[in-house]
Chain A
Amino acid sequence: MLGLLFFVFVLAVFLGFELISKVPSQLHTPLMSGSNAISGITIVGALVAAGQGEGGLTVTILGTLAVVAAMINVVGGYLVTDRMLGMFRHKDGGAK
């Protein structure tokens, strides 16, 4: 199990480096805030802690706080990225 996790981890890191090699600078901000939204994936751990009820009320409360923080990251991150990208325009005035 652990070997497999590390296997996935190393491959994903390499994939990340390959994906983001040549980004035009006008996309630096959207790329950053878009990937920032993805880091809100920690919501998965937060949902488990808040919803499973294992470990008592403290875990539930910590989990719920984590859900709040992660949702701010996810919702805020995706919406703000979308808002920015909606402003990028072509010469003919069409939104992209």
Chain B
Amino acid sequence: MLSSDHPLITSLYILASVLFIVGLKMLNRAATARRGNLISGVGMLAAIVATCLLKGISFQWILLGAIVGSAIGAVASYSVKMTAMPEMVGLFNGFGGLASMLVAWAEFHKWRGLGWEAYLRTLGAGAPDSSLFTAVAAVFTAIVGAVTFSGSVVAFLKLAEWITGRPILFRGQRLLNGAIVLATLAAAAAVVVQRPTGGAAYAAFGAVMTLGLVLGVTSVIPIGGADMPVVISLLNSYSGVAAAAAGFIILNNGLIVAGSLVGASGLILTNIMCKAMNRSLANVLFSGFGAVETASSSAVQGEVKPVSVEDAYYILEAARSVVFVPGYGMAVAQAQHVVRELGQLLEKNGAEVKYCIHPVAGRMPGHMNVLLAEASVPYEQLVEPGDVNPVIDTVDVAIVIGANDVVNPAAREDRTSPLWGMPIINVDQARTCIVLKRSMRPGFAGVENPLFFKPNTRMLFGDAKASISALVAEFKSE
């Protein structure tokens, strides 16, 4: 039908790029976010239509693939529980990486079969005069795509707890990772030097993809569950980079623009997550944080004061302002609905209720916000640590539900703590702090939490959902 430099095709790709930009911009604000997502979806449709208008495209295989893929995507996105959202987002992301890797492989195979001159013609007008460039783009896409795919699958397995969420570490791990990186680069160099001629080049390209897949696994297994928000947003960035790199192979500006937008925004989100933990990206990726139960240097002083549901009820009944601080424990217990119910009862009782959410609470950026939104908590009640900390001493009760490291005062008080310097929610400075917890086990970082021993802290032991439900029952029987 149309050649790749036809004005209509170009216009559609430009339209797609503009719609992606507008859509992303609108995703920045709660009031416009949903429409923004829709607009970006229309952009994707424009890009797909433009591609289908290209001359020489036949549809039987495309339709088969599109139907299968759409069905899987649609069923998965509607059946996934909100508590399982982090692993689902991670998995979708992995498929993007896989697609980019397969595109690189297909292009490589095409080039090898046709020879450079003929392959150049399939790329259309404005093709590069250098096969070196295309070869570099192809191996780069293959590596990044492969790492994104296998890394995301490992992240999925960890989050779904099919494998342990704790960091998996072994002696010489960094050495092994370094060796894999070197081997990958060597195989990539072999492809670039030989270009796709002969069996050796194909073997080298296969090695590039295989090593990329291995690298994705070995670089994600040493990262612990609590650091998953960083990993998920970083892998998101990678999938964008892979798509942009694929754009350099097939010389498509639409791919380059959309891919780079995702790459950049993913990096920004990664950076926000790292800042919220006061750690560098390198520290998150390589330290195996939380692998060992660190014996805290300074023994924690004081005693733990357990509280019964009934006593907790009396404390809450008298409270005029209450702040909930949810963490991963709320997701595990699926307690978001009863938490909202308790919040409403407290409001009816005359208290001002807020939900304070730490940026890295949970297993993906914004995890707690999604769960509370599912429970129909209005987003005006969801606040950030920066809003609560300055007025925390006027808060009557802070209720910590399954959060640990993000409320650990050691981050403020103990220079030797691994958490030192991490911005936390200062619940220990509220008039009373009730901590819902299964047991005295330390959090994911394996750090003892002095909060539990503070004079104004009360521990409500047990399953978070059961405890909150019991409190709700107390309020209702009133």
- Chain A residues with a Cβ under 8 A of chain B: 1-2, 5, 8-9, 12-17, 19-56, 58-60, 62-91, 93, 96
B249 lies within 8 A of chain A by Cβ: yes
Q: Is there an interface contact between A63 and B31, defined as CB atoms closer than 8 Å?
A: no
Q: Which of B21, B52, B248, B267 contacts A47 (CB 8 A)?
A: B52
Please, which residues of chain B bring their CB within 8 A of the CB of A1?
Answer: 126-128, 251
Residue of A30, A31, A42, A45 with most chain B CB atoms under a 10 A cut-off: A42
Distance in angstroms from A58 CB to nearest chain B CB is: 5
Residues of B391-446 at the interface with A, using a CB-CB cut-off of 8 Å, are none
**Could you say which of B104-112, B312-320, B451-459, B465-473 contacts chain A?**
B104-112
Q: Is there an interface contact between A51 and B62, defined as CB atoms closer than 8 Å?
A: yes
B187 lies within 8 A of chain A by Cβ: no
Q: Is there an interface contact between B264 and A17, defined as CB atoms closer than 8 Å?
A: yes
Q: Which of A25, A34, A73, A86 contacts B36 (CB 8 A)?
A: A34
Q: Is there an interface contact between B263 and A72, defined as CB atoms closer than 8 Å?
A: no
Please, which residues of chain A bring their CB within 8 A of the CB of B381?
Answer: 91
Complex Cα–Cα for A47 and B43 (A):
16
Please, which residues of chain B bring their CB within 8 A of the CB of A51?
Answer: 52, 54, 56-59, 61-62
B178 lies within 8 A of chain A by Cβ: no
Complex Cα–Cα for A48 and B384 (A):
46
Q: Is there an interface contact between A32 and B24, defined as CB atoms closer than 8 Å?
A: no
Q: Is there an interface contact between B37 and A34, defined as CB atoms closer than 8 Å?
A: yes
Residues of B155-199 at the interface with A, using a CB-CB cut-off of 8 Å, are none
Distance in angstroms from A35 CB to nearest chain B CB is: 5
Closest 7 A/B residue pairs (Cβ): A71-B69, A16-B264, A67-B65, A28-B366, A76-B73, A55-B110, A75-B73
* Interface size, B (range): 35 or more
Complex Cα–Cα for A74 and B376 (A):
27
Q: Is there an interface contact between A47 and B48, defined as CB atoms closer than 8 Å?
A: yes
Please, which residues of chain A bring their CB within 8 A of the CB of B23?
Answer: 34, 38
Residues of B87-146 at the interface with A, using a CB-CB cut-off of 8 Å, are 88-89, 92-93, 95-96, 98-100, 102-103, 105-107, 109-111, 113-114, 122, 126-128, 130, 133
> B44-82 CB contact bits vs A (8 Å, 1 = yes)?
100110111010111101101110111011101110101
Q: Can you list 10 A-B pairs, Cβ within 8 angstroms, ordered by A?
A: A17-B267, A35-B266, A38-B258, A49-B103, A56-B109, A56-B113, A63-B61, A65-B65, A76-B74, A88-B33
Please, which residues of chain A bring their CB within 8 A of the CB of B260?
Answer: 9, 12-13, 15-16
Given contacts A68-B65, A69-B69, A87-B373, are A30 and B269 in contact (CB under 8 A)? no
B325 lies within 8 A of chain A by Cβ: no
Q: Which of B43, B102, B110 contacts A54 (CB 8 A)?
A: B110
Q: Is there an interface contact between B70 and A75, defined as CB atoms closer than 8 Å?
A: yes
Please, which residues of chain B bring their CB within 8 A of the CB of A66?
Answer: 65, 98-99, 102-103, 106
Q: Is there an interface contact between B373 and A72, defined as CB atoms closer than 8 Å?
A: no
Q: Which of B44, B80, B249, B255 contacts A78 (CB 8 A)?
A: B44
> B223-263 CB contact bits vs A (8 Å, 1 = yes)?
00000000011001001101110111111111111111111
Complex Cα–Cα for A51 and B77 (A):
27
Q: Is there an interface contact between A71 and B248, defined as CB atoms closer than 8 Å?
A: no
Interface contacts beyond A30-B27, A87-B376: sample of 14 additional A-B pairs, CB < 8 Å, sorted by A:
A5-B248, A12-B256, A20-B268, A24-B30, A28-B366, A29-B89, A32-B364, A36-B92, A46-B65, A51-B57, A63-B106, A66-B99, A71-B69, A81-B37
Distance in angstroms from A77 CB to nearest chain B CB is: 5
Please, which residues of chain A bring their CB within 8 A of the CB of B27?
Answer: 23, 27, 30-31, 34-35
Given contacts A19-B28, A62-B106, A66-B102, are A41 and B251 in contact (CB under 8 A)? no
Q: Is there an interface contact between A80 and B80, defined as CB atoms closer than 8 Å?
A: yes
Q: Is there an interface contact between B262 and A38, defined as CB atoms closer than 8 Å?
A: yes
Q: Is there an interface contact between A96 and B65, defined as CB atoms closer than 8 Å?
A: no
Q: Which of B31, B56, B96 contacts A36 (CB 8 A)?
A: B96
Q: Is there an interface contact between A75 and B74, defined as CB atoms closer than 8 Å?
A: yes
Please, which residues of chain B bring their CB within 8 A of the CB of A83?
Answer: 77-78
B326 lies within 8 A of chain A by Cβ: no
Please, which residues of chain B bring their CB within 8 A of the CB of A5?
Answer: 247-248, 251, 253, 256
